[in-house]
Structure 1
Amino acid sequence: MNQAEDLLLEHQLCFALSVASRSVVGAYRPVLEELGITHPQYLVLLALWEGSPRTVRNLGDTLLMDPATLSPMLKRLESAGLVSRNRAPGNDRALAVDLTDAGRALRDKAVDVPGAMMERLQLTRDQVLELNATMRRLIQATQEPQQG
């Protein structure tokens, strides 16, 4: 690729990532609909299945989401009976999010999601791990202060 081709749409990393992101999230939609959750809710539940209770701040940091985005989603998950929100023990200013029994039980149904997605996207486990590592490097590069 030469400098004259740098501005071709097909060579833009931002374009490929944007389309890939929308496409992959769209592929998750029918799989997650069977569980009664959306993709962003799935991400929250994944974090809580790894460890709960968690403060809203901890969830936001883990998911790289701001509280304004996270709070309405947590309200919907609470309304669905999957999580509870209460004041964190020892810190009245922090809100702790915990799984309900229904939220914990949903994990048993969700264990099939990664395999279903690998099949849907025609990827092996190794390919998923490789793609994930590449995406994490990109995310980290965008989080680091830019030299200039």
Structure 2
Amino acid sequence: MQEKQPYLTLDEYKQLVDEDTQLTEKEFKKLLRKASSLFDVHTRRFYQRNELTSDLPMRRDAFKLAIAYQIEYMEEAEATTTYGMQEPDSWSIGRMSVTTSARSASGQTKEASILCHDSMVALSGTGLLYRGVRR
């Protein structure tokens, strides 16, 4: 079985979102693996069954941009899992105490998502997020 090409290269990432990135090749590959796995799930593994390089440019470019945004998001958040995205409700240093309240309008506690909203926006309108039955 032939090994699939990565969805994005470090050079493409630099061109798309951060030409001055300080990410090393090793750090980039780690984030790329996480972002690729996440978007394989959200796109129902579309590019595991179809060739990315020969796909429609509009859909291919949107997917690559979504992966790049996801990598940037995880790097900035310094987290690659939902557990890593959690923030404490309160913390103290000496006599200073800070309490945050991340609640929605319904009073439910909001959880930080590992999924980057900008990535989902990039994929909207491509059909990759379609959840209906395909024939």
| Higher-strand-fraction structure | 1
**TM-score, normalised to structure 2's length?**
0.25
| Higher-helix-fraction structure | 1
**TM-score, normalised to structure 1's length?**
0.24
